[in-house]
Amino acid sequence: MLKTPLNEFHRQHGGRMVNFAGWEMPVVFTGILEEHQYTRQHWTMFDVSHMGRVEFRGPGAAALLQKLVTRNVDKLAVGQCGYSHICREDGGILDDLIVSRYDDYFLVVCNASNREKLLGWFDRQRAGFDVQIKDRTFETAMVALQGPDTFDALAKLLPISLEGLKRYHFRCGTVMGVEASIARSGYTGEEGVEITMPANLAMMAVNVLFERAEQMGRPLKPAGLGARDTLRLEAAMPLYGHELTEDWDPITAGQTWCVDLTKNFIGQPALKRIAEEGPKRQIVGFEVSGPRIARQGYPVLAEGRPVGFVTSGVQAPSVQKNIAMGMVDAAHAAPGTTVEIDLRGTKTEAKIVPLPFYKRPAKK
């Protein structure tokens, strides 16, 4: 298995390690519920170094990315990042990713499970473009600091000012002697940042950050993949392999907002047709009756007939409800619709509800 630069840190802090997309990653430290709540109430650190980081340089970099991704990258200013999808010709989703525009290059952050697939896809699509593509995954580390304490704490801990930093924008500078970029982004539904730094300095930087946070009276705690999943699901953020796959398109997945149909890109004709005709299926949210969790793949029924399936489910700590997301036929996708979910032979009532399930409280 591959290891992130923070593997030893996780072991020192009691992380229970598992194989995730070929990487040895911490699924939990002290407990999923505790880590979930601490993120919602204070701040935690997630190691996201396993995610792919691929650099596009050269005169043709922007043009190639315009061809590859659903978002209009020409509209990204330097210091701005944008969530996007990358699709096959038929609109099937190869991955969801973040594209960031630096002074003289672009950085694409993709899912760990899709990195090698995408590197091959990039190579096949680059003909005719003056571009250099470099996989920087193993040269860098990436951590997500998430929770309502993040910005107040970092204002006292970092020499880089985050004042006025807008969501999905980033700044570069030196943090504790380490060259880093800090983006206002995340995957929890909370305020937070994602910091990218050189791999060989990550362990030192993280240890110093934890020590100084403790000394300041704003303890930072590590969190694992388990809490990351419950947090993202409450916020209705899609997970590749669950709400996003090659089997359907961004519009069906409810991600039309990251698709610019006015530009040409791979899959645009197919997506334009789906948008004009309306998707036949949709990703929706469920509130599920009873305590049993609706797992991925469980059938969704209407009047005893299959109309869809569950993509993700969890007992949601922040909203105190049994929630799930899933794909259903468009005729059954309206909020308020009552369906049943087949929980391994037991049919349980569920109601389709608007997404997200959780929104962070407004600042007072």
Does residue 363 sit within a domain?
Answer: no
Strand-pairing partners, residue 142, are: 196
The answer to the question of residue 227 being in a domain is yes
In the listed set 226, 246, 279, which residue is the last one of a domain according to the structure?
A: 279
pLDDT of residue 260: 98
Question: What is the distance between the alpha carbons of residues 98 and 268, in angstroms, rounded to a whole number?
Answer: 19
pLDDT in tens, 12-67: 999 999 999 999 999 999 999 999 999 999 999 999 999 999 999 999 999 999 99
Is residue 259 included in any domain, yes or no?
Answer: yes
Tell whether 256 and 290 lie within a shared domain. no
Specify the number of domains making up the chain: 2
Are residues 131 and 89 both part of a single domain? yes
Residue 364: the pLDDT is: 55
What is the Cα–Cα distance from 192 to 145, expressed in whole angstroms?
5
pLDDT at 344: 95
- Clarify whether residues 289 and 149 are in a common domain: no
Same domain, 194 and 324: no
Residues 242, 189 share a domain: yes
Q: Which residues of 126-152 are buried (b: 16+ CB within 10 A; e: fewer)?
A: beebebebeeebeebbbbbbbbbbbbe
d(CA 340, CA 363) in angstroms, rounded, equals: 38
**Domain of residue 75, CATH code:** 3.30.1360.120
Are 153 and 221 in the same domain?
A: yes
Let me know whether 147 and 177 are in one domain.
yes
Last residue of a domain, one of 279, 301, 322: 279
Q: Give the model's pLDDT for residue 198.
A: 96
361 belongs to a structural domain: no
- Domain shared by 315 and 185, yes or no: no
> What pLDDT is stored for residue 49 in this prediction?
98
What is the CATH classification number for the domain harbouring 334? 2.40.30.110
Task: Check pLDDT > 90 for residue 71.
Answer: yes
In tens, the pLDDT along 75-114 reads: 999 999 999 999 999 999 999 999 999 999 999 999 999 9
Per-residue confidence (pLDDT) for residue 363, from 0 to 100: 72
**Domain-located, residue 166:** yes
Q: Which of 279, 295, 320 is the last residue of a domain?
A: 279
Q: Are residues 305 and 258 in the same domain?
A: no
Q: Are 35 and 96 in a shared domain?
A: yes
In angstroms, rounded to a whole number, what is the distance separating the alpha carbons of residues 102 and 156?
A: 26
Looking at the structure, tell me whether residues 114 and 163 fall in a common domain. yes
Instruction: Please state, in angstroms and as integers, the Cα–Cα distance from residue 361 to each residue in 148, 189, 191, following that order.
Output: 10, 10, 10
Considering the chain, what is the average pLDDT of its residues? 97
Q: What pLDDT is stored for residue 142 in this prediction?
A: 98
Cβ-Cβ contacts under 8 Å for 133 (sequence gap 6 or more):
54, 55, 56, 57, 119, 122, 123, 126
Residue 362 falls inside a structural domain = no
Domain annotation covers residue 29: yes
Same domain, 225 and 108: yes
pLDDT at 361: 87
| Cα–Cα–Cα angle for 216, 218, 223, rounded to 5 degrees | 135
| pLDDT per position as a tens digit, 166-209 | 999 999 998 777 789 999 999 999 999 999 999 999 999 999 99
Residue 315 and residue 295: Cα distance in Å, rounded? 11
Task: Establish if 360 belongs to a structural domain.
Answer: no
Domain of 330 in residue numbering reads as 280-355
